[in-house]
Amino acid sequence: METFLQQLINGLTIGGFYAVVALGYTMVYGVLKLINFAHGDMFMWGTLAGWGLLTTVLAGLTDMDLVAILVTAVLVMAFIGMMGMTIERVAYRPLRSAGRLSPIISALGAAFALQSVARNVSHARWRTYPQGLLKGLPTLRLTDEVAVSGLQILMLVICAAIMIGLYLFVQRTRVGTAMRAVSLDHNVSRLMGINVNRIISIVFFIGPALGGLAGLLIGIYYGSFNFTLGWVFGLKAFIAAILGGIGNIPGAVLGGFILGISETMVVAYGPDIGLANASAWKDAIAYVLLIAILIARPTGILGETVAEKV
Amino acid sequence: MNQSLTRLVRPWMWQLLLVLLVLALPAMPFMDRSRTSLAVLAGIYVMLGLSLNLIVGYAGLFQLGHAAFFGLGAYTAAILSIERNITILATIPIAALVAGGAAILISKPILHLRGDYLCIVTIAFGEIFRIGVTNNAFGITGGANGLFGAGRPELPLPWLEPVPALVLALVLALHVFLARKSGYLLRWGGAVVIAAGYYLPPLALDHKPLFLISIVMAVGVVVLGAVLRDHKVSARGQMLALVAVVIVCGLIMAAGADSLVTEIEGNLDKYFRVEDPVKVLGVELTPVVFKRDARPYYYLVLAFILVTVIGMRRLQYSRLGRAWLYVREDQLAAEAMGIDTTQVKLAAFAIGSAAAGVAGVLYASRFTVVAPESFNFLQSVIMFCIVVLGGSGSIPGILVGTLGMVVLPELLRDVGPTFLYKGINPVVILAVLLGGYLYGARHRLSGATVESGAIAGAFVLPPLLLGEPALSVIGMLMVLVAIIAIPLVRRRLDNALPWVAGAMALYAVVMLVIGKGLGPAVEREISAFRIMDWRDGLMGVAMVVMMVLRPAGIIPERRRGIVVSAVAEANASPQAT
């Protein structure tokens, strides 16, 4: 039972990251019906940019790590958000009326380009975040065996805040309403006086900015990363978005948590149920889960069955 | 003069030239060992592109996990060859069955998924396959290191100890079959005359290895005949052309018989290991096994591509092929017309995957090592790009796509930017001048000539004056920047000339001042620059640029019929569901 609780907490933390990255995928998919393959790499760029800032410019601020991290977070979010808007402008907007194959290639191309630059910037090595960031946070002991580190609590709180904030933003504000309108129908939205291009740009700012923030957080949480992080993690986050029903914000959150928890659980309990080296199979869990759920519910857990227009 | 020249050069001549070029490629002086090897690899990718084209191009389904079926074929061949000692080409049917069967099993439950869901599920299957073989899930895949020692192709040749009548009969049968099938040549009579034409010389000269040339010629003549027929050359024209070829080749054989035989036997030893003859059904067959050299593989792969292309074309225009087209353009309408969409899509997945399995066998036999990393997601993406970049649904597009995605990146491996300033620096200067002029002409600036001259001068003079050739690379980069940046400036300013000139002058002055110190540093940077590090990134940028410039691919498929193109246009609108 202790292991279970501990794994549940670990799973929730990972799931929170998946969920935040999945939000970016799901928002973009909502408005453009496009799998933004570059999103995972933008997320990785968040980790990379955070590492760059914390090890060079802000290295002197390690005494006040919260301040340093806050400044980094703001800069990273602005940078990655701009990156997202640029990519949309350059690689996706010209292809908006070009069928469904071309944007996928373009998105993959953007992902390759981002990954390649990151690889050369980091010299293809594993990079480590400064030691001792946020180590002062208290650890919460639930029982003797089960402990929640302050870092985990902070991550969970931030992820929850992002999700709730985004949900309220999309549901309550004018821009959020416009986003929902655009995701239903571009042309009609345009007739209603919505500047569709602007809304899409905003989506491409918010999604990557949140992804970049998640990247920074995951860098702090794990302490080290390399340039392939975005691809693997991004793909799994996308799967999380699909699990919950893509285009659906609560769905992405649900999918993220399901994925995070099942991964940690399989790795923890795999040896007990006969899967000897469960951690080697960790990456396959997401895919198996995806196939299982899509066979049962073709549009994801919370996805609505859309009748096709004739 | 020009007019009559264009009329003289018919389209079929270009096609013929292309065919000859492809056939003679390994003999070209620039084809060293590694490039021939690359050509073989490219051929395997063409096979993969063709097979994926069936799924993505014809049937319009997403498949981003194609590498898994390629891998299934390769692993099947390797396992059978290593464990059961089956000669590797004989595993082709089994590999095709395994890959196709797996495709049916896997895609059956997921075919009803809509586009993007299908896309992600195929990625999932591809990754599960890779993780599965890496972890040695079935205990026979060798784990992360893969399998070593798959066999090389083995061809049982009847010609070394020939039964001339039998071979002649086979060659004749081939001709007659094709004559009847496609109506080329003068049917029976023509086939007999031509086959005899190139078959008799070796017989008369009693030089058995020359039969090898005969066999090659038989295939060549059949291809030539098909090309001529496709371009509606008259029967008499076909006959004349073929007879001329046969006579010329016969004469060459007769004249150079001795040296040709030595040549053939020497080459045979170089490329093949000749094994002891075996008797099959009373015929003595001599198995020849491929050696490591890539040239025989080139022709083997070429033969497979030819067969695949013919198969694909026939499929495309068959009942099933038309059904794919309807499903791709409008699934609901297709269903309403009574097409069983699930079955039709399943067929596309199964046939395409089986063909990928065959490509996998070729891969295993070429490299003899089969490892999980050769079948990862990047490979699936490359295959997908080959199909879509070239123009999905179009067979020439696949060739172009392969050149762009496989051949070009490999050729770039040796190219460093140092060549820009070492040796051909004047060319760089010319290119810069020209770029500047083109830029001026394109944007119709006032005083474009003056400006382009000024730009070129500003970028070119400092490295020349300072004697620092490495700086010309910066000059070239600056031209690129100028071509992009100046129209933006111009849009805001009525007369850009003074501004541009000022900026140029400033640049030139700055370069002249700091250039002497900068030169060696730039040179160091450039020689440390390895294009392989940036290959993926360049490929990515190229993918984006290509798609933005030509969303339908480089050589798009010709759309058939008005109704179809109307539907395509409707689908292309952003609001299509």
Q: What 3-state class would DSSP assign to B370? A: strand
Among B127, B384, B392, the residue with its CB nearest the CB of A284 is B127
Q: CA-based angle A11:A14:A18, to the nearest 5?
A: 125
Q: What integer best gives the mean pLDDT of chain B?
A: 75
Q: Does B124 touch chain A (CB under 8 A)?
A: yes
Whether A302 is covered by a domain: the verdict is no
- Pairing of β B154-157 and β B272-274: unpaired
Q: Do A99 and B577 touch (CB under 8 A)?
A: no
Whether A291 is covered by a domain: the verdict is yes
Helix ranges (H only) for B231-278 are 235-255, 257-271
Is pLDDT larger for residue A34 or for residue A99?
A34
CA distance B2 to B270: 47
CA distance B347 to B122: 16
In this prediction, residue A61 has a pLDDT band, given cuts at 50, 70 and 90, of low
Pick the residue from chain B with its C-alpha nearest to A96. B574
Torsion sign, CA atoms B184, B189, B195, B197: negative
Distance from CA of A35 to the nearest CA of B (A): 8
Locate B56 and state its tokens. Answer: 């993505």
**Interval A201-248: pLDDT, tens:** 999 999 999 999 999 988 888 888 888 888 888 888 988 988 888 778
CA distance A26 to A262: 21
Q: Do B540 and A108 touch (CB under 8 A)?
A: yes
The pLDDT of residue B431 is above 50: yes
- Which positions in chain A touch B548 (Cβ < 8 Å)? 90-91, 94-95, 106
Distance from CA of A295 to the nearest CA of B (A): 6
Distance from CA of A52 to the nearest CA of B (A): 20
Mutate to test the interface with B, among A116, A117, A182 (most CBs of B within 10 A): A116
Pick the residue from chain B with its C-alpha nearest to A281. B131
Q: Does B274 touch chain A (CB under 8 A)?
A: no
pLDDT at B575: 45
The dihedral formed by the CA atoms of A29, A35, A40 and A42, expressed in degrees to the nearest 10: -70
Pick the residue from chain A with its C-alpha nearest to B119. A35
Q: Do A120 and B536 touch (CB under 8 A)?
A: no
Q: Which of residues 314-343 of B touch A (CB under 8 A)?
A: 332
Pick the residue from chain B with its C-alpha nearest to A306. B577
Quick one: average pLDDT of B403-418? 76
Helical axes B377-390 vs B395-402, angle rounded to 10°:
130
Q: Does B276 touch chain A (CB under 8 A)?
A: no
Nearest to B168 by CA among B203, B133, B141: B203
Locate B110 and state its tokens. Answer: 């997921």
Name the residue type at position B54: L
Q: Do A294 and B540 touch (CB under 8 A)?
A: no
Quick one: average pLDDT of A151-165? 86
CA distance A187 to B575: 8
The pLDDT of residue B533 is above 50: yes
Q: Does B536 touch chain A (CB under 8 A)?
A: yes
Among A35, A105, A281, the residue with its CB nearest the CB of B116 is A35
Query: Considering only B17-26, B271-280, B295-304, which range has the smallest mean pLDDT?
Result: B271-280
Q: Per-domain residue ranges for chain B?
A: 38-150+293-374, 155-290, 420-529
Domain count, chain A: 1
Query: Considering only A200-214, B339-353, B406-420, which range has the smallest mean pLDDT?
Result: B406-420
CA distance A7 to A237: 19
Per the structure, the complete domain to which residue A247 belongs is given by 2-296
How many CB pairs below 8 A link A and B? 150
CA distance B141 to A164: 47
Mutate to test the interface with B, among A108, A122, A293, A295 (most CBs of B within 10 A): A108
Q: Does B381 touch chain A (CB under 8 A)?
A: yes
The CATH number given to whatever domain includes residue A244 is 1.10.3470
Element of type H or E holding B340: none
Q: Do B110 and A281 touch (CB under 8 A)?
A: no
Nearest to B264 by CA among B326, B318, B216: B216
Burial of B108 (0-12, 13-18, 19+ CB in 10 A): middle
pLDDT at B545: 81
In this prediction, residue B565 has a pLDDT band, given cuts at 50, 70 and 90, of very low
Nearest to A169 by CA among A199, A124, A211, A193: A199
**Interval B436-458: pLDDT, tens:** 665 555 555 545 566 666 666 77
Distance from CA of B5 to the nearest CA of A (A): 40
Whether A301 is covered by a domain: the verdict is no
What single DSSP character describes residue A198?
A: H
**Interval B380-394: pLDDT, tens:** 988 988 888 887 778
* Location of structure tokens 């793909």: A235
- Which positions in chain B touch A109 (Cβ < 8 Å)? 539-544, 547
Query: What is the three-state SS of B387-445?
Result: HHHHCCCCHHHHHHHHHHHHHHHHHHCCCCHHHHCCCCHHHHHHHHHHHHHHHHHHHCC
B136: left (phi over 0), alpha (psi -120 to 50) or beta: left
In this prediction, residue B168 has a pLDDT band, given cuts at 50, 70 and 90, of low
Among A291, A306, A310, the residue with its CB nearest the CB of B332 is A310
pLDDT at B167: 62
DSSP string, B469-524: TTHHHHHHHHHHHHHHHHHHHHHH-S--HHHHHHHHHHHHHHHHHHHHHHHHHHHH
- Which positions in chain B touch A309 (Cβ < 8 Å)? 577
Distance from CA of A121 to the nearest CA of B (A): 11
pLDDT at A77: 93
Q: What 3-state class would DSSP assign to B273? A: strand
Q: Percentage of chain A surpassing pLDDT 90? A: 17
The pLDDT of residue A283 is above 50: yes
CA distance B255 to B261: 12
> In angstroms, what CA-CA distances link B251 with B151, B167, B175, B255?
39, 21, 22, 6
DSSP string, B286-312: EEEEE-S-HHHHHHHHHHHHHHHHHHH
Helical axes B319-329 vs B341-367, angle rounded to 10°:
110
What single DSSP character describes residue A91?
A: I
Whether A303 is covered by a domain: the verdict is no
Please, are residues B294 and B35 in contact by the beta-carbon 8 Å criterion? Answer: no
Pick the residue from chain A with its C-alpha nearest to B533. A120
Q: Do B575 and A185 touch (CB under 8 A)?
A: yes
In this prediction, residue B350 has a pLDDT band, given cuts at 50, 70 and 90, of very high
pLDDT at A249: 83
Pick the residue from chain B with its C-alpha nearest to A93. B548
DSSP string, A231-286: HHHHHHHHHHHHHH-TT-HHHHHHHHHHHHHHHHHHHHHGGGGT-TTGGGGHHHHH
